[in-house]
Structure 1
Amino acid sequence: MKREAGILMPISSLPSNQGIGDFGKHPYRFIDAISKQNIHIWQILPLNPAGYGNSPYQPYSSFAGDEIYISLDTLADYGLIKQSSVRNFNKFSDAVDFEGVRAFKEPYFRKAYKTFLKNFHQFEKEYQLFCSTAEWLYPYAVFIVLKRKNENKPWQEWKKEERDWIDSRQLSLEDMEDEIKYHQFLQFIFYKQWNDIKKYAEKHHVKILGDIPFYVGLDSADVWQYKNQFLLDENGYPSFVAGVPPDYFSETGQRWGNPIYDWNIMKKNRYDFWMKRLAWNAQQFDIIRLDHFRAFDTYWKIPSSCPTAVEGEWILGPAYDFFDEVYKCFPDIHLVAEDLGDLRPQVLKLRDFYHLKGMHVIQFEMQPKLLKKSRKEEVILYTGTHDNDTLEGFYLDLTQNQKIALRRFFHNCGYDDRNFHNLVIRYCLDSNASTVIIPLQDVLGLKKEGRLNTPGTIGSPNWEWKVKNLKEFYSLLPTLGKWIKDSRR
């Protein structure tokens, strides 16, 4: 069985002089570096327009890309802006200032759009091809323009003709057409830059592992366009919301607030919305991680009036009927199941029936008696995910006795390293898991300052972590590559 290793590194966390990791030179350098060390998977987080709390899991669209990732330097390479006009945005260089970066990049985007219109013939064929394949594009652009027109208020607070434009088309958009075209232009540029990165990764035998959130954001083009696919009241507000009951992460559970799908309606149209989501994402990524996989089997349904996730009930999901349709439409799609947490056996049966790889997170097993247990080969083993503390941050929270017990365990396994994160990484690489993925923060041995997200919390510093440069990471890669090559798997 082929064994693989990968790095988890969000695009936003890459180095950049423009405030956030983007589609400039650093993704190419990153791909070059990891491919030389037998690392052939790069896992990223969703690239959709971040909504509430700047979370990639509360996007404004399941299809559109967040223009914040567009590289200004690459725009200059296209001849759409002058390289000499590009300035640095160094404020909060060790953290992403989302609003600051958006305001900084916007004038450059406007200049690029004007040049694009003047020199449209240079891009016409490519642009027309993109528009013809992205059926979501025009509705999304209309949604964003209406949202800006309404001072970014949720679409439920718009005028009725704006809320119902998809169904009635009674609202005149004539005076908005240029702005709509501007947002279509941004999506064209976003995917032009991203597809160049993906092609470069393919050339260097690096697979991109993307991520599809199970739910979509309430204030999104998805819900606005497909209202009848969700359990909403007559004003567009959810009757029930998504989340999970109390667990390892939270005593009161997690109340995400996303609207719940109307699976009865979706079944009648053969899950059309989901099939469109998967089709588009399959073009962008080589492997797709299905976040919150267990909800396809059973999902936690919380009355919207409840302030926490404690009150709720488990409801049967679409399960086999859904995945039969998926593989009917996309027989070669490569899916991974995020199957973490307390699961009923039926979830694992669903996963195994379609031969999906599941996930293990070593931090959840960090006791000698659990580490000794046998592991299935067809699994992706993580030292941590975007929702975990770093390995060193995790280690800091252990008692002295726990630290001693773990170090003794790893020492008895033949690992001798002063750094806890290296002990764990080597142990994972030597396991029988078919795939091992390591967050870049764990390669660097960062402590709590490297944590990306804390589940159950909203806002700063979640999603803001950004590495200043990758020099140290690149210097450590040969050692990591040697461990991969010499692993006992």
Structure 2
Amino acid sequence: MTRPVRASGILLHITSLPSAFGIGDLGPAAHTFARLLAGAGQTVWQFLPLAPTSTFIGNSPYSSPSAFAGNTLLISPERLAEEGFVSWADVDAGVEQFREAAHGSGGPHGSGNPVRFEAVEAHRRVLLRAAWERNRHQLVTDTAYLRFCRGNAHWLDDYARFTVLKERFGGAAWTTWDEPFARRHPDALALLDAQEAAALDHVRFCQYLFFRQWYDLRAACTDLGVRLVGDVPIYVTHDSADVWANPGYFRLDADFAPTHVAGVPPDYFSATGQRWGNPVYDWDALRRDGFTWWVRRVAHNLRMADIVRLDHFRGFAGYWEIPAVEETAINGRWVDAPGMELFDTLARRFTALPLIAEDLGVITADVRELKAAFGLPGMKVLQFGFGGDPADNPDVPFRHDVRSVVYTGTHDNAPTRAWFEAAPAHERARLEEYVGHAIAPHQAPGVLLRLAMGSVAELAVAPVQDVLGLGAEARMNTPSVAAGNWAWRMTPEQMDAGLYAELARLTRLFGR
């Protein structure tokens, strides 16, 4: 029997890297962080979805106008200049606002200058327009660009159309566009392609720049022995290129409005459940088409990363379907999903399925069977491990299994220091009893990091906030809170290799 390879890594989204341009990007800091990981003995870098975000829907990487496109806010201005796509004068135009915002912005425990999404969008819009104007006439003979467009045409062409039409109709939802465009009449799309050829190529070109930089970073990580772990939300946004281009794959009415939406039922945390609002899939239609859309989506993400985390994995076995007219999730119902058929199709398509099943919460037998049938590791979160009955708590360390990924916390949790400070007294007491000594708040991140590294789980991952011992000021996301999320960033000083020496020591101690 082959012994599983023990590994460890850090969870850090690209936007949280330091940079001089208002947001973490795919430039020098990303490559420095990859080297930092390798130097600390880490072989995994996990990040959040890389899809485009919108200030209109809270800047969440889990709500996007495309499940395939890249977030152009992550394009590095410095690398654009280094490769000759723009001038340094183009890069510097408007960047003073980010330098001014950084002065005096360091918060408690050294929190970085937060992302200013609207300002970043304005800066990147001008910069990418400059890149387009400088290079547009050379694209007809640029074999790398043309190869990118051909290889991604199955999503790229419709994403470009969606983006151009979105701007034409003032940002309105696609269901309100003029009928020929909302209903994708072939003549209307052909006319759009002819009349807006330059605008469509501009969108394609920006995507080309994003993926060019992403694959450069991916290659650098591969050379360093660092595997990338991506993230795929199970559902897509209704106002997206995905639903506009493939309405038959979703439960929509004659006017393309969702008849049913996704969410989760009432539970201990919410008496009304959660109504997410995403359209649910028409799984019968997807099955008839051989799950082609899902095969392409998984293939796309496995080209971008070595391993992919599937968010809300239980929805592949059964999902909570809520009539769209309902304001809460109370009157939903459980509906079976063809997860076995889908993953069997994926298993035949790919030689391996390097996937992580996000199986947090109340998990039923059908979800466990689906995960086991395809050998997918699940998740364990140590912040959840010290409440309730230890005999029934899958997150308590002595109940971990080898085929799993253990986290100190996730992007939806408070950093461990803040979690410990706010945790009920009985949970803090149980953790102290478990490790055999009293714990001060500043010690809590190190305690959970040690438990994660010592777990039998084959992969241990800690948010960088826990490695650095940061508190509530460094929280990435608070679920169900609409504003103020996704903006935390590191400071340049927090990239110092000395801050990761203890992580490296624990990695060696526990054979990861």
Q: 1:24 to 1:360 in 2, by over 3 A?
A: same
Unpaired segments of 5 or more residues in structure 2? 103-112
Unpaired segments of 5 or more residues in structure 1? none
Query: Does residue 1:149 correspond to 2:149, yes or no?
Result: no
For 2:447, the equivalent position in structure 1 comes to 423
TM-score (norm 2): 0.91
Alignment of 1:193-272 (within 5 A): 193-247=213-267, 249-272=269-292
TM-score (norm 1): 0.95
For 2:365, the equivalent position in structure 1 comes to 345
Q: 1:68 is aligned with what amino acid? A: L
Q: 1:130 to 1:400 in 2, by over 3 A?
A: same
Native 8 Å contact 2:318 2:335 kept in 1: yes
Q: 1:372 to 1:99 in 2, by over 3 A?
A: closer
- Cα deviation for residue 403 of structure 1 reads 2.8
- Cα deviation for residue 271 of structure 1 reads 0.9
Q: 1:61 is aligned with what amino acid? A: S
- Cα deviation for residue 466 of structure 1 reads 1.4
- Cα deviation for residue 82 of structure 1 reads 1.2
Please point out which of 61, 65, 70 is paired with 1:65.
70
Once residues 328 and 382 of structure 2 are traced to their aligned partners in structure 1, the CA distance between those partners, rounded to angstroms, is 29
Once residues 151 and 444 of structure 1 are traced to their aligned partners in structure 2, the CA distance between those partners, rounded to angstroms, is 43
Query: Does residue 1:389 correspond to 2:414, yes or no?
Result: yes
For 1:35, the equivalent position in structure 2 comes to 38
SS of aligned partner of 2:380? strand
Query: Does residue 1:126 correspond to 2:129, yes or no?
Result: no
- Cα deviation for residue 86 of structure 1 reads 2.1
Shifted more, 171-180 versus 337-346: the winner is: 171-180
Q: 1:411 is aligned with what amino acid? A: G
SS of aligned partner of 1:384? coil
SS of aligned partner of 1:266? helix
Query: Does residue 1:456 correspond to 2:480, yes or no?
Result: yes
Shifted more, 276-285 versus 365-374: the winner is: 365-374
Shifted more, 449-458 versus 166-175: the winner is: 166-175
Native 8 Å contact 1:282 1:333 kept in 2: no
Please point out which of 129, 137, 140 is paired with 2:159.
140
Once residues 185 and 233 of structure 2 are traced to their aligned partners in structure 1, the CA distance between those partners, rounded to angstroms, is 24
- Cα deviation for residue 230 of structure 1 reads 0.5
Once residues 13 and 418 of structure 1 are traced to their aligned partners in structure 2, the CA distance between those partners, rounded to angstroms, is 22
Query: Does residue 1:110 correspond to 2:92, yes or no?
Result: no
- Cα deviation for residue 170 of structure 1 reads 5.3
Once residues 268 and 509 of structure 2 are traced to their aligned partners in structure 1, the CA distance between those partners, rounded to angstroms, is 35
- Cα deviation for residue 473 of structure 1 reads 5.6
Q: What do residues 191-218 of structure 1 show as CA deviations (whole Å, max 9, x unaligned)?
A: 0000000000000011110011100010
Once residues 417 and 293 of structure 1 are traced to their aligned partners in structure 2, the CA distance between those partners, rounded to angstroms, is 33
Q: 2:459 is aligned with what amino acid? A: T
Native 8 Å contact 1:166 1:225 kept in 2: no
Q: 1:473 to 1:217 in 2, by over 3 A?
A: farther
Shifted more, 306-315 versus 463-472: the winner is: 463-472
Identity percentage over the alignment? 35
Once residues 54 and 374 of structure 1 are traced to their aligned partners in structure 2, the CA distance between those partners, rounded to angstroms, is 36
For 1:55, the equivalent position in structure 2 comes to 60
Shifted more, 465-474 versus 19-28: the winner is: 465-474
Shifted more, 385-394 versus 395-404: the winner is: 395-404
Q: What do residues 81-123 of structure 1 show as CA deviations (whole Å, max 9, x unaligned)?
A: 11244223246542112121001111111111111124447x7
The size of the alignment, in residue pairs, is 486
- Cα deviation for residue 472 of structure 1 reads 5.7
Once residues 269 and 488 of structure 2 are traced to their aligned partners in structure 1, the CA distance between those partners, rounded to angstroms, is 20
Q: What do residues 46-97 of structure 1 show as CA deviations (whole Å, max 9, x unaligned)?
A: 1111142211111111111111111111110121211244223246542112
Native 8 Å contact 1:19 1:97 kept in 2: yes
Query: Does residue 1:178 correspond to 2:183, yes or no?
Result: no
For 1:440, the equivalent position in structure 2 comes to 464
Q: 1:131 is aligned with what amino acid? A: C
Q: 1:68 to 1:248 in 2, by over 3 A?
A: farther
SS of aligned partner of 1:17? coil
Q: 1:402 to 1:326 in 2, by over 3 A?
A: closer
SS of aligned partner of 1:80? coil
Please point out which of 1, 5, 10 is paired with 1:2.
5
Alignment of 1:277-316 (within 5 A): 277-316=297-336
Native 8 Å contact 2:386 2:427 kept in 1: no
Please point out which of 76, 79, 99 is paired with 1:74.
79
- Cα deviation for residue 408 of structure 1 reads 3.5
Q: 1:394 to 1:416 in 2, by over 3 A?
A: closer
Native 8 Å contact 1:19 1:91 kept in 2: no
- Cα deviation for residue 252 of structure 1 reads 2.4
Q: 1:488 to 1:23 in 2, by over 3 A?
A: closer
- Cα deviation for residue 165 of structure 1 reads 2.2
Once residues 502 and 440 of structure 2 are traced to their aligned partners in structure 1, the CA distance between those partners, rounded to angstroms, is 15
